[in-house]
Chain A
């Protein structure tokens, strides 16, 4: 397995004064399902288009499998793209759409027929050969786009928010299918999305982008459990931010004084050594416990429920306490908004669930 299959070296792309991609460097492994995640305008699509060859970088270089592709036009790159709106050619049928990219590969007629047949069965579109784009549903169009790109057996498949236009149920289904498919064929996937849940559930690694820069790049688990900064922590799932000041370092741990709550020993995941520097702590809603009675946890706050929202599998509570103005927490089964008299509740936090964040 090639660990630096795709090398992105100091890539920048400026549109006028806008730095869409700002000096980004990283590597993607061969066979990896890699996601670029971020809010709209963060540069993720521009980065993908740079990989596809639709844009050329202002500076920096791109290497794929050891060869420099920075200046290659899209038709000369061993990459293929699944477009956000699928871009199925409307004037030719599904079969011709899928065949479209094979003509230039110098295959024999038999090979072309076999490849088209195989890829259509791979994406479960057998029997749709004669249909036109206008006769297909969103999910089917998405499969055609996938088949059309995969049939060329690219070294890298680029996917630009391909599930964005589908309804939730179908999207969940396609997420699983895409993941299975990728493992099955072993092609490197670079997947662009603004949906954090999608990125986390499908990817081997995720790069979170904001303002043209990579904020954090790690496995989904690491991203959720150990976000590096406020942006990532806020973007990936929901969290509560607490202001704090650092105190003495203690091996892998550090003492922090959290505003209104007191001093606690928590894991020093950022390797902070300075004393008395301002930091932000994060605690995820699902790590807290909400109850009608006081608990014996290290932190237990009395609060008042301001608002609840029922989500089916869980209920979300917005709680106000003396110490912290607004806490978001969830309860999966035991409690709902009926359980608390006059909204009175107790919120318990385990200091082990508190993590440190960089301010930027």
Chain B
């Protein structure tokens, strides 16, 4: 019996694959699929009173969501903030990666490690340090006032959408560096020279050659930044004030103070679907655009 099992195992690649994957599979099932399933089922229930929940199936919570202007506008705001963060991150990280990929000759790895240095401290710590920098008595405001450039502190810096965008951009920039760097570093520099040789200016060469060839990295960076930032609630909670609040803060409230688990679960599910749609659209467009790059 043992012999047959051994022989089967030796020949079966799926058996080997699953046994190697099993620790991760068990963990993912328990820690992700089960809670996700629970959340999904809760979104179809009804909160009757503070402690009571009606477990009969209804899609009323989803209807509630779209009838509450606040929730819909928070969802739109979450997506908007995330898009801005993604865009600003790309705009700042891309030139840096371009520089490292094409102009740094020695110690490229050292450059990358140095760039990720701030990310060796905790996320929360970094959010708090932005509080120190952006606050009304923070580094920026007090320097400007001491320099005599301002009479009173800039209020839009702190507890605002701006604060959330700045902090999230900084918090996730490191994650954009790697896919961008890898895709740019892979580009053969002679392709860029060839384009110049064929009469294209620097800008045209970038547009026609460098940008399309680095598209996989750009898409990777977009997904890596967009997905986590759209659901971030730490930064908006600490730095957003009322203006910078995002949907995740509302979801947190539904599961906490407000105690409306079904509506919270429905909101979370809608958010999940939104992220999934954006991911699919972005990936599909990339696939179309990059089919030919290999």
**Interface residue? A215 (CB, 8 A):** no
Q: How far is the CA of A199 from the CA of B209 in the complex (A)?
A: 33
Q: Which of A81, A85, A91, A100 contacts B188 (CB 8 A)?
A: A85
Docked pose: A91 CA to B183 CA in angstroms: 14
Interface size class of A (residues with CB under 8 A): 20 to 34
Is A132's CB within 8 Å of the partner chain B? Answer: yes
Partner of B200, one of A52, A75, A83, A149: A75
Cβ contact within 8 Å between B191 and A134: no
Q: Count how many pairs of residues, one from A and one from B, have CB atoms less than 8 Å apart in the complex.
A: 69
Interface membership of B122, Cβ < 8 A: no
Which residues from A are CB-within-8-Å of B191?
A: 87, 89-90
29 A-B residue pairs with CB within 8 Å = A52-B193, A53-B196, A53-B197, A73-B196, A74-B196, A75-B197, A75-B200, A79-B197, A83-B193, A83-B194, A84-B190, A87-B188, A87-B193, A89-B191, A89-B195, A90-B213, A91-B213, A91-B290, A100-B195, A100-B198, A100-B208, A101-B198, A101-B199, A103-B199, A105-B199, A132-B292, A132-B294, A149-B197, A152-B199
Interface residues of B in 155-211 (CB under 8 A from A): 188, 190-191, 193-201, 208-209
List residues of A whose CB falls within 8 A of some B CB: 52-54, 73-75, 79-81, 83-85, 87, 89-93, 100-101, 103-105, 132, 134, 148-149, 152
Contact B209 A89 (CB under 8 A): yes
Contacts of A85 in B (CB 8 A): 188, 190
Q: Which 6 A-B pairs have the closest CB atoms?
A: A101-B198, A87-B194, A104-B199, A87-B190, A74-B196, A91-B293
Q: Number of B residues whose C-beta is below 8 Å from A?
A: 20
Pairwise interchain contact B294-A90, C-beta atoms closer than 8 A: yes
Min distance, Cβ B293 to any Cβ of chain A, angstroms: 5
By a CB distance below 8 angstroms, the chain A residues around B196 are: 53-54, 73-75
CA distance A91 to B194 in the complex (A): 14
Residues of the A chain whose Cβ atoms lie less than 8 Å from the Cβ of B200: 75, 104
Which of B193, B208, B290, B294 contacts A74, CB < 8 Å?
A: B193
Q: Assuming A52-B197, A54-B196, what are 6 further A-B pairs, CB within 8 angstroms?
A: A53-B197, A79-B197, A83-B194, A89-B209, A101-B199, A152-B198
